[in-house]
Structure 1
Amino acid sequence: MSTFRKRTRFSGRIAELNSMDSAFRDVSGGRQRCILLAAEAGGGKSRLVEEFTNRLSGRALILKGGCIEQQESALPYAPATGLLHELARLRGQSLIKSLVGCEGARELAWLLPELGELSERFDAGIARSRLFETMRKLFEELAREMPLVVVIEDIHWADQGTFDLLRFLTRRLMDIRLMLIVTYRAEEASRNALRTTIGDISLCEGSEVLQLRRLTYAEIAVQLEGLLGRPPKPAVINSVYARGCGIPLFTEALIDASGSLRANVTGSLNDYLLRAVREVPPSTGGLLKVMALGGPQITHSLLRSVTNKPDLDLVELLRPAISAGVLVPDRDGYAFRHALIHDAVRGDLIAGEKVAIHRLYADVLERGSVPSYRIWHSVALARHWHGAGQAERCLKWAWQAAGEAAAAFAYMDQMEMLKLVLAAWPEVENARRLIGADHCKVLELAADAACWAAEAEQGLAFVDRALAELDADRYGEQLAALLLQRAVMRQHSLVSGEIADLERALDHAVSPTRLRADALGQFSRALILRGEFNRAKRLGEELRDLAERLDDEEYRIEGMIIGAMLNMPPNASCIDAHRIVVGRAEQASTGRVEVLAGAALLQALLDAGEYSQIIDIGPAIFARTVELGQARYIGALVGAPLCRAYLDLGRVSEATETCERMAALDPLPLGLVHVFECQAEIAIVLGDVDRMAAAVSSLRDLPPGPQVANRMAANLRRYEIESRALAGDRDGSASLAKSALMFLKAQGGVSWPLMVSAMRVAVDTRQKDVVLELAELAGRAPRRNKVEDAENLEISAEMSRATASDINMWEAVSRSWADLNQPFRQAYALMQAGAAALNAAKRVHAARNFRQAFRLAQSVGAQLLSDQIEAFAAKARIDLRDGEDDCVGKAPFGLTDRELEVLRLIADGQSNRDIARNLFISSKTASVHVSNILSKLSVPSRGAAAAIAHRLRIVELT
């Protein structure tokens, strides 16, 4: 089977690798271990073994052998033969002969003829016993030299002799440095010989069974990134995960050599998937064809009705497919074990078979001879009548299913059913009369469903078809509805034309109706997104007036949402207003405004720095968004404040998990802005250069939409500055800091995070003009909340580093971030406070700050920041381990803390210049300290001062 294989990243299996590492440590200590590694076909057994053995890095002799699939019977002792070939290749035949002797070599010659003359065998039992003893002796001798790792793969294809050899070795080799790794397919474990062998071996001392699960969504994403060489798009991850079911081999098979997603699997993989199907009896194979058109899962009752077979007869037909691993029992029915097996069986059907089978299902479902499945029932009927070529019946059931799906917020199902209505329409003479709607109305509904399902490309196509059919003069309001749909899809796709559509929609929706209310609400939110608050306020006020005229609670609430969003800054009264709106929306039981209200509240809480409150209510709002079928549409906008709150509070793993859930929704570009920004923020905290570069690249690949142009421009500049700084590119980050200043001066708005990043880099790279201009900008910029107050204070503290870093200012910054419960930013401020304390010769003060900073950085997993703190502390000879702040002790002879530090360096033989560089002081200041030390110690030279320091143990020898 030919698949695209590019081994760049190993994904998942951390627990299994740890278990194997632990087993190898036991082996190195003289204890034999056996790992039984089970997984389904393609589950990654060989890849895990490869990863593990590669990590051993010359610490063991590794021999590999495998069983070979044969049509008739298993090849005798195939893995033992493979092991001997491998050993001969690595060490030579002469070594084998020297280890087992001439007699032993003749025994092994039955497996490896190159070892010489065959032993004469008269009794098969005795001959086998000799062979087993010779293999035992060979392994014992090899393990004396160094630990021996023996890998035997695919024992589900083994002969009985190999099974017996494995049992023998696991019982007779208990106290040698041998690690035996045996792999097999889990679905084959029901075979009697294999099951018995696994059971016997697993009971031996030192044996452990590792069952490889399928990879998770996040692990598949990592695997795909390795295959593609870039972060995969959420849509690609979703498709591969759904079709490949988390099986590593299938993931590789679904990506072609160019790194693109395959529309269809390769012929070789298809043959591989169908092999087990073709090996079952013909009657079972026929049943599998029927099941394939019933879906990935099918209930026993439906299958019984469709096949018209008694229960016991049906079970007998199903049993071979279950034994072969094609099907698995699934609650009250059966499921194909892999989605790709289901696809392969369905794809193997010819046209006539499909029509006949679809007709069987449709007849049974329409008779109602199986329990109703609500939406599924009508959806299934529409699909089966479509497959059976019955256009009128398909149209009837698809229209009913679309209505049911809309009522249940199943927008994707609604869109798919309306597509069937449109497909059947040309073949049904009385289509309009049959469903009570014209073709253009169906297109409008399909566009609306596509919009809510976040399928913008299809939705825009529906709108364009409808607009081409519509008489604008006669149907102005329908035109306005279509324009509103196109506007929201353009917004979420980050393409231009949205405002023009909204303006035109308002021109056509002139009557005081719900349609005009829709237009006013949508237009107001679009303007808020762009920062055009005055115009948004006017439209919001008109919406509130119209809602009262209509006496419509939904639009009253929407008007309140817009009013609360425009209520700046986000103080306590503003947040209270948002909470009131959320309560009204929940009581009104209107899903659309409930989600909008929840998203607005979370954003207000984020702007106000109320992170704990976000964590209290955010998960429920996110879950409600999914429940209401609006996850792809607005899920990322709801998830982003939650992710940022977790991150700011130092709960990085939960922030990462939330970000992954946002990405898994496969949002449109507007939602992806939030996903990639969250990824970048996580990368900053972790100090992860690769993650940051990937996030920046992903943001740059998004369409340059006018909806978030200013926001993206500011954030991209900040992330690029941070990316260059993380990578150690001093010149690049300096240039970007200067560019950020130009951008900030030209921009009407203010980006405090960008100013903070630019100021830090400008100070680090000694750009005095940039530092001064940034400070001037910050001094004029408005501050809306406690977060921006803290950022303003941090900018001032950064500026102080350009001359003499201010301890008090940095400690004030630290307190500000502590008040906001932001441990990462507090740790950075404490690090700078510690450095400032060192410059001021306040060693105890510095030690306290460094220790607290280090604990905070470690608690959030900020490795790069932890390393920076350790570097500062190491230069100052400060122990970061927990201890009392006065652990340094009082220096004798009246030496100050700073003089004691200088004396340590004198004792190390450092010059005044070296001392100045290490303690971040001038050479002149270092010279003054040295003179004071010589005077206090009453010695004439630096060498004498060093001798006293060592003799009296004033400083420790290094």
Structure 2
Amino acid sequence: MLGPVESRSVSPVFVGRAREMAALRQALADAAAGEPQAVLVGGEAGVGKTRLVEELADAACERDAIVVTGGCVEIGAEGLPFAPFSTALRSLRRRLPDELAAAADGQENELSRILPELGTPLPDALEQDGTARLFELTARLLERVAADRTVVLVIEDLHWADASTRHLLAYLFRALRRGRLLVIATYRSDDIHRRHPLRPLLAELDRLRSLRHVDLERFTRAEVRRQLTGIRAAEPDAALVDRIFRRSDGNAFFVEELSCSYDEGCASGMTDSLRDLLLVRVERLPEDTQRVVRVAAEGGTTVEYPLLLAVAGLAEDDLIAALRLAVGANVLLPTADGDGYRFRHSLVREAVSDDLLPGERSRLNRRYAQALEADPSLVRADERTTRLASHWYSAHDRAKALPAVLLAAVEARRRSAHAERLRLLERALELWDETPDEVRAGLRPIDRVDVYPACGTAADGSHADGHPDGHPDTPAGPLRHIDLLAEIVVAARLSGDRERALAVAKKALRVLEDEGDALRSAWFWLQRSNLVQDLDRGDGRHELGVAQELTRGLPPSAVHAEVHSRSATWGALHRPGPEALAAADRAVEYARLVGAGYTELQARLTRGWLVADAGGVEEGLAEMYEVRERAEALGATELTGRVATNLPSTLESVGRSQEAVAAAEAGIEATRSLGLAHQEAWTRANMARSLFSLGRWDEMAALLDAVGEDGDTAKVRGTFATHRAELALARGDLDEARRQVDRARAGFGTHDPQPQHFIQPARLAMTVAGRRGDIAAARAEFERVAAGGFGLGMQRYALPLLVAAAAIEADHRGRPEAEDGRAAVLEAIGAHAKRMPTAVPVWEAYALMLEAERARACGDPAPRLWARTTHAFTELSRPYELARARMRWAGALLESHADREEVAALLGEAHTTATALGARPLAEDVALLASRARITLGAPGAAAHAPDSPGLSLGLTPREHDVLRLVADGLSNRRIAEELYISPKTASVHVSNILAKLGVAGRTEAAATAHRLGLFT
């Protein structure tokens, strides 16, 4: 079917096929070792058989193999005799003329039946068992040519092969015994109908143990994305990938053609040439069968047999006969359950459907709709509403279509199929103006979104509230155009199309400008508030303020409760503290007053989060868990998504990381089942943070790798980048950490400043600068982030930042350039620390570490403080922080001339943890401290003595140790040479070696490392 067409846009990148290519490469290797190999490659037209073989041919040529190809030719039912072998041998003769002549010596006339250039065929009368001899001579010819070099013989399009070619190939597969020969034959599996002459041969060959059979499947969505990236030389957007994957079904050729069609501006994505190509097989069928295929095309990808019988208008025997021909031609296939038929490829169905005349299509869809209305049992109950809506829409019956489409949208919402729901609602919007007024007047808001006031106005002037699951019990008043816009906004937001949601919300507000409907306007402003935050167009505060003004002075309603609830959530994200908690309390009160159960749950979730952050851990978490149970019981989609994100985050905040991972796992499962990809991404991000805290860094790395660096919103990308920076920094990759910090800041932007978005990147950037010895840059980061202060509720981010700032000052103590300004920084750190609550064990542990680091920065080893810090972290699941505390406690004990046995035990435990985590910098710090104390890590019992030089654990020679001491003092190479009585050149070589062994970029960073580790006192 695809033979005469050439792709106009082929990906230069070979996509997928790892398993299949491995099989072919193994066959090539075996052939090169002197064992002849045979491979059959099957797959539907356009799936990529030729590309796979071409890739193998390239690999073979790199090994100096000779690759020759022959293709079967489609001429009637049978092709030209021996055509592919003639072509291949002709190519072999051009490539290896002398070798082929020697191999054919004495048998030229007989072999000329396949390759006429060799001689004159013998008369048939002179032949004794001529065909068998010809096959034997051909096998021996190939074996001789392949005796000293690898030869790859490719026979393409075996489905068009003549009988002689098939028989010769079968003989070769059995008879080849020696030589470095690989024979590959390709065929189209979709062309092999029940009576195809190749079918018996395939069955026979499959029984050969020496034969490899490779079947190519269609591409997955990820592979289609990579193919499109190669074709377009740029990452395609997700919508284009989804569209092309859905329409191509993963067929590589169709992906190329559709991509090219879209690039050429073809709105349907199917050019005339592609449509004609797809219709070739259909047009070969008898007219009656073509008519049945056209009827089936309008029934969908799969059509139930009873439904097809009801619509086709044929006697059952005639229908079965037509279907048999369509199946035999591989246009239709029986479904797996045997109850209906489907098209072999969805693009074929599209081409057949597009080829229908306008009146013909409308008539067929009307017949389908009438058949479904007359007998609902013709299709499955869960599909009837959607399919009925599709048929009435395609029948252009507006009066029937609009109610059916709205009912289908309700079904889609109940199945959490938000993208499908959006498509249906957009279709309803398209139908709205063309639907008769009397039909629209009869529509009721049978489906409602959250607390949108769509149920009319009560006698007292207040609006009816929403049921917790978003569906009103007693709808009142007709469905209005503005109500439909509200549905679209929510469906677009939940499906991830926030741009569309924002555009429709703006349109709705323009419609409402002259209506004076304050509550509806407030609801749409609330949507805008959330959407501008998601799209990084602002922090949403202005839009939220407009909604507050619109509801001020109006009777209590569900929208009032929603405004307070959103205010609480905004405060929790931006300014956590008493005001946000008070807003949450007001939201709960209003929601209970008006019976808005859904909003009450939303507000209670926020209140639980804020109460836990304020120190009421048990009370807050209990409320959040209760909301989760209620949301799941009610099937409240968006609320379930929020719980999946907020609960693990709060658990992590209060130090319950193991519980946070469990909650995240449950949340990922829930959001995935509900189609909430955005919330799933946030939940995975929160899970990554908890995995880091627990020391499960390899699991965290795997999760981050699976997510990739692109996709979802900029804020989600920024959060994942923050976690990648955290892991890279802990494992010693400063360049990667800095790159990810920059990516995080780019993702978070400046339009919506939230504590989690600016405090964490600042801490990481500070630490990178400190590791590199740039104390000025580290202090600048701290001053910038601390300038606005840290309010209540920010302790989960602020305490680790203050610890990092104090540790940097302590690490740089003794460096001349770091002395000026230290007192001011430590004073600022202390002032911020006084305002940090420590009501939770994990916060108390960080507060103790902060106090100990401040003491270290002032020159006080403070062993008691480090002991308390170590004991505090021992009670928590924070192995990395515990190892750091143990190392610092050991260092403090050394300076206090304490028991060396205790020091050795602390350093041993810290080093074991750091090594297990892959925390290279921490492991090196511990090793250097042990070296300084002359303690051998891992030695049982009492502390063992280590070599005198504390730099030996990093591979420094005694001379390099002396040089590093002078580098740390700020001396130039010339001054170092003068001090050590060596030449400046030798000093330069030593410095270069030191930088390489320490893994640092320059002298300043080397000096910072030496000071941080306390190498020189």
Give the structure-1-normalised TM-score: 0.76
Selected match of 1:508 from 550, 553, 563: 550
Once the two structures are superposed, residues 678-711 of structure 1 have per-residue CA deviations (whole angstroms, 9 ceiling, x without a partner) of: 7777888999999999988987886947335665
Q: In the aligned structure 1, how far is the partner of 2:516 from the partner of 2:232?
A: 52
The question of whether the paired residues in 2 share the 8 Å contact of 1:301 and 1:370 is answered with no
Selected match of 1:490 from 521, 528, 532: 532
Aligned residues: 896
| Corresponding residue number in structure 2 for 1:523 | 567
The question of whether the paired residues in 1 share the 8 Å contact of 2:42 and 2:215 is answered with yes
| Corresponding residue number in structure 2 for 1:168 | 171
| Corresponding residue number in structure 2 for 1:612 | 658
Q: In the aligned structure 2, how far is the partner of 1:686 from the partner of 1:84?
A: 59
Q: In the aligned structure 2, how far is the partner of 1:431 from the partner of 1:281?
A: 44
Query: Could you say if the C-alpha distance between residues 632 and 598 of structure 1 is closer, same or farther in structure 2, counting changes exceeding 3 Å?
Result: closer
| Corresponding residue number in structure 2 for 1:624 | 670
Once the two structures are superposed, residues 599-627 of structure 1 have per-residue CA deviations (whole angstroms, 9 ceiling, x without a partner) of: 32122123345443344343433333344
The question of whether the paired residues in 2 share the 8 Å contact of 1:63 and 1:86 is answered with no
| Corresponding residue number in structure 1 for 2:494 | 452
* Secondary structure class of the residue paired with 1:181: strand
Query: Could you say if the C-alpha distance between residues 155 and 800 of structure 1 is closer, same or farther in structure 2, counting changes exceeding 3 Å?
Result: farther
Query: Could you say if the C-alpha distance between residues 474 and 387 of structure 1 is closer, same or farther in structure 2, counting changes exceeding 3 Å?
Result: same
Matched, 1:367 2:374: yes
Matched, 1:184 2:191: no
Matched, 1:301 2:306: yes
| Corresponding residue number in structure 2 for 1:135 | 138
| Corresponding residue number in structure 2 for 1:342 | 349
Once the two structures are superposed, residues 432-453 of structure 1 have per-residue CA deviations (whole angstroms, 9 ceiling, x without a partner) of: 4232223333333333333333
* Secondary structure class of the residue paired with 2:256: helix
Once the two structures are superposed, residues 530-582 of structure 1 have per-residue CA deviations (whole angstroms, 9 ceiling, x without a partner) of: 34544422321211221332355434433321112213167852434432432
How far 1:210 sits from its partner (Å)? 2.5
* Secondary structure class of the residue paired with 2:437: coil
Matched, 1:430 2:438: yes
Q: In the aligned structure 1, how far is the partner of 2:848 from the partner of 2:290?
A: 72
| Corresponding residue number in structure 2 for 1:744 | 785
Q: In the aligned structure 2, how far is the partner of 1:282 from the partner of 1:660?
A: 54
- Residues 378-417 of structure 1: matches in 2 within 5 Å? 378-417=385-424
| Corresponding residue number in structure 2 for 1:952 | none
* Secondary structure class of the residue paired with 1:145: coil
Q: In the aligned structure 2, how far is the partner of 1:606 from the partner of 1:258?
A: 46
| Corresponding residue number in structure 2 for 1:707 | 752
Q: In the aligned structure 1, how far is the partner of 2:262 from the partner of 2:816?
A: 45
* Secondary structure class of the residue paired with 2:147: helix
Query: Could you say if the C-alpha distance between residues 152 and 306 of structure 1 is closer, same or farther in structure 2, counting changes exceeding 3 Å?
Result: same
Once the two structures are superposed, residues 386-429 of structure 1 have per-residue CA deviations (whole angstroms, 9 ceiling, x without a partner) of: 32222222223233334444455444444434333333333313
| Corresponding residue number in structure 2 for 1:468 | 510
Matched, 1:158 2:165: no
The question of whether the paired residues in 1 share the 8 Å contact of 2:719 and 2:744 is answered with no
State the AA in 2 paired with 1:635. E
- Coordinate RMSD, CA, aligned: 5.7
Q: In the aligned structure 2, how far is the partner of 1:35 from the partner of 1:682?
A: 46
Once the two structures are superposed, residues 100-148 of structure 1 have per-residue CA deviations (whole angstroms, 9 ceiling, x without a partner) of: 04335555555555x5544445367855445433432343234432444
- Residues 255-270 of structure 1: matches in 2 within 5 Å? 255-256=259-260, 263-265=267-269, 267=271, 268-270=273-275
Query: Could you say if the C-alpha distance between residues 462 and 589 of structure 1 is closer, same or farther in structure 2, counting changes exceeding 3 Å?
Result: closer
Structure 1: where are the runs of 5+ without partners? 858-864, 877-883, 926-958
How far 1:798 sits from its partner (Å)? 15
- Residues 755-770 of structure 1: matches in 2 within 5 Å? 769=818
The question of whether the paired residues in 2 share the 8 Å contact of 1:64 and 1:86 is answered with yes
Selected match of 2:16 from 3, 12, 19: 12
- Residues 783-862 of structure 1: matches in 2 within 5 Å? 857=918
Query: Could you say if the C-alpha distance between residues 903 and 419 of structure 1 is closer, same or farther in structure 2, counting changes exceeding 3 Å?
Result: closer
Once the two structures are superposed, residues 831-866 of structure 1 have per-residue CA deviations (whole angstroms, 9 ceiling, x without a partner) of: 999999xxx9x9999999888766655xxxxxxx89
Selected match of 2:598 from 547, 550, 554: 554
How far 1:365 sits from its partner (Å)? 2.2
* Secondary structure class of the residue paired with 1:450: helix
Q: In the aligned structure 2, how far is the partner of 1:273 from the partner of 1:134?
A: 42
The question of whether the paired residues in 2 share the 8 Å contact of 1:831 and 1:849 is answered with yes
Q: In the aligned structure 2, how far is the partner of 1:369 from the partner of 1:13?
A: 44
Q: In the aligned structure 2, how far is the partner of 1:64 from the partner of 1:677?
A: 53
State the AA in 2 paired with 1:18. A
Query: Could you say if the C-alpha distance between residues 310 and 6 of structure 1 is closer, same or farther in structure 2, counting changes exceeding 3 Å?
Result: same
The question of whether the paired residues in 2 share the 8 Å contact of 1:2 and 1:269 is answered with no
Once the two structures are superposed, residues 447-472 of structure 1 have per-residue CA deviations (whole angstroms, 9 ceiling, x without a partner) of: 33333333333333333333333255
Q: In the aligned structure 2, how far is the partner of 1:246 from the partner of 1:442?
A: 35
The question of whether the paired residues in 1 share the 8 Å contact of 2:49 and 2:186 is answered with yes
The question of whether the paired residues in 2 share the 8 Å contact of 1:84 and 1:112 is answered with yes
State the AA in 1 paired with 2:497. E
How far 1:920 sits from its partner (Å)? 13
Q: In the aligned structure 1, how far is the partner of 2:736 from the partner of 2:79?
A: 48
State the AA in 1 paired with 2:324. R
Once the two structures are superposed, residues 192-215 of structure 1 have per-residue CA deviations (whole angstroms, 9 ceiling, x without a partner) of: 432222233332233222323333
Query: Could you say if the C-alpha distance between residues 349 and 556 of structure 1 is closer, same or farther in structure 2, counting changes exceeding 3 Å?
Result: same
How far 1:385 sits from its partner (Å)? 2.4
| Corresponding residue number in structure 2 for 1:942 | none
- Residues 901-916 of structure 1: matches in 2 within 5 Å? 913=959
* Secondary structure class of the residue paired with 1:182: strand
- Residues 240-259 of structure 1: matches in 2 within 5 Å? 240-256=244-260
State the AA in 2 paired with 1:637. W
State the AA in 2 paired with 1:744. V
How far 1:154 sits from its partner (Å)? 3.0
| Corresponding residue number in structure 2 for 1:601 | 647
Structure 2: where are the runs of 5+ without partners? 1-5, 444-477, 791-796, 893-899, 931-936, 977-1017
Once the two structures are superposed, residues 339-375 of structure 1 have per-residue CA deviations (whole angstroms, 9 ceiling, x without a partner) of: 3333333233332222222222222223235446556
| Corresponding residue number in structure 1 for 2:97 | 93
Q: In the aligned structure 1, how far is the partner of 2:192 from the partner of 2:873?
A: 57
Q: In the aligned structure 2, how far is the partner of 1:761 from the partner of 1:342?
A: 66
Selected match of 1:579 from 625, 636, 644: 625
| Corresponding residue number in structure 1 for 2:426 | 419
Query: Could you say if the C-alpha distance between residues 16 and 520 of structure 1 is closer, same or farther in structure 2, counting changes exceeding 3 Å?
Result: same
The question of whether the paired residues in 2 share the 8 Å contact of 1:636 and 1:675 is answered with no
* Secondary structure class of the residue paired with 1:37: strand
| Corresponding residue number in structure 1 for 2:465 | none
* Secondary structure class of the residue paired with 1:215: coil
Selected match of 1:206 from 198, 204, 210: 210
| Corresponding residue number in structure 2 for 1:955 | none
* Secondary structure class of the residue paired with 1:103: coil
Selected match of 2:223 from 219, 244, 247: 219
How far 1:326 sits from its partner (Å)? 3.1
Q: In the aligned structure 2, how far is the partner of 1:815 from the partner of 1:57?
A: 65
| Corresponding residue number in structure 1 for 2:681 | 636
How far 1:71 sits from its partner (Å)? 4.1
The question of whether the paired residues in 1 share the 8 Å contact of 2:769 and 2:775 is answered with no
- Of all paired residues, the percent bearing the same amino acid is 25
